[in-house]
């Protein structure tokens, strides 16, 4: 299957996105580096229709007027779901996208069915972790196996601008979103939290915060994966996420918290 590029004509402006696969819809929200179309998406598309919007400002797209915070971006994402998917859907959020997914689940609960958080940003107490490292060091923290990165026609400067400038437009560099933490208990969705055993960018304290605050959450490590789990271990990631998407609440009941894939 191939990724098909489309444009969503929303009330607040145009949003570029890609779609792949057939089946029940899954919305994928990318990380601070922008949208990387990966093998994991291709594998998930065997049973699901994957929607991959490009956050406005990322990857050379235009920033939209009035969309300048994580809550306003969540509102735009809810508009995208209503326009392009038409109903609530399962949501996967990686890093920056995981932060966004939590705001979406809090402010637009009917739009989010199952929620998957892949090393989510926004919950780093004391400023631990983060992306502020020299390029060579950051590359090692992002992926333990950089040779597994898929082909990417974006330039280094574009990706760097995504991480250094565009992400700050939405959250001003705050490591811990205290307002969101106070509202995590409002999340109704069954939630899967995925964390790589080699993770250094998102501290383990993030997982403790989310486990303590989200009512129906299951925490699972993926062995031998750094921050970009779907690059380091796409098969393990898709096996875990695919089972959760298939079984939902039964997955939470019948598995033990903290197991390693």
Q: Considering the domain boundaries, does residue 254 fall inside one?
A: no
pLDDT at 247: 80
Q: Given the DSSP bridges, would you call strands 191-196 and 112-118 parallel, antiparallel or unpaired?
A: parallel
Q: Tell me the Cα Rg of the chain.
A: 17
pLDDT at 256: 43
Within the chain, which residues score under 50 in pLDDT? 256-257
Q: Give the whole-angstrom CA distance, residue 215 versus residue 187.
A: 7
Q: Considering the domain boundaries, does residue 42 fall inside one?
A: yes
Residue 187 in contact with residue 214, Cβ under 8 Å? yes
Say which CATH number the domain at 212 has. Answer: 3.40.50.1820
Residue 27 pairs with which residues in a beta bridge?
51, 91
pLDDT at 180: 98
Q: Considering the domain boundaries, does residue 255 fall inside one?
A: no
Q: Under 8 Å CB-to-CB from 204, ≥6 apart: which residues?
A: 195
The number of beta carbons lying within 10 Å of the beta carbon of residue 1 is 12
Q: Considering the domain boundaries, does residue 237 fall inside one?
A: yes
| Containing structural domain, residue 162 | 4-249
Q: Under 8 Å CB-to-CB from 226, ≥6 apart: which residues?
A: 140, 141, 142, 143, 144, 196, 198, 199, 200, 201, 232
Helix-then-strand count for the chain, H and E:
11, 8
Q: Considering the domain boundaries, does residue 259 fall inside one?
A: no
Total domains in the chain come to 1
Mutual angle of helices 96-107 and 70-80, in 10-degree steps: 70
């Amino acid at each position: 299957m191939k990724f098909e590029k489309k444009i969503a004509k929303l009330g607040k402006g145009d949003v570029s996105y890609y779609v792949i696969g057939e089946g029940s819809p899954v919305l994928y929200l990318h990380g601070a580096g922008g949208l990387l179309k990966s093998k994991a998406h291709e594998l998930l598309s065997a049973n699901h229709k994957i929607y991959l919007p490009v956050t406005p400002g990322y990857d050379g797209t235009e920033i939209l007027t009035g969309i300048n915070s994580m809550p306003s971006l969540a509102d735009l994402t809810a508009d995208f779901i209503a326009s392009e998917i038409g109903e609530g859907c399962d949501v996967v959020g990686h890093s920056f996208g995981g932060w966004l997914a939590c705001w979406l689940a809090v402010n637009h609960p009917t739009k989010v069915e199952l929620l998957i958080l892949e090393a989510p940003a926004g919950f780093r107490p004391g400023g631990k972790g983060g992306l502020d490292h020299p390029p060579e060091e950051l590359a090692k923290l992002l992926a333990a196996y950089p040779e597994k990165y898929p082909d990417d026609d974006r330039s280094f400067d574009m990706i760097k601008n995504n991480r250094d400038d565009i992400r700050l437009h939405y959250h001003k560099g705050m490591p811990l979103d205290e307002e969101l933490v106070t509202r995590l208990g409002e999340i109704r969705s069954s939630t899967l939290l995925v964390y790589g055993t080699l993770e250094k960018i998102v501290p383990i304290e993030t997982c403790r915060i989310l486990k303590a605050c989200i009512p129906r959450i299951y925490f699972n490590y993926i062995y031998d994966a750094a921050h970009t789990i779907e690059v380091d271990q796409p098969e393990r990631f898709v096996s875990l996420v695919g089972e959760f998407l298939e079984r939902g609440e039964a997955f939470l009941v019948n598995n033990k918290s903290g197991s390693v894939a």
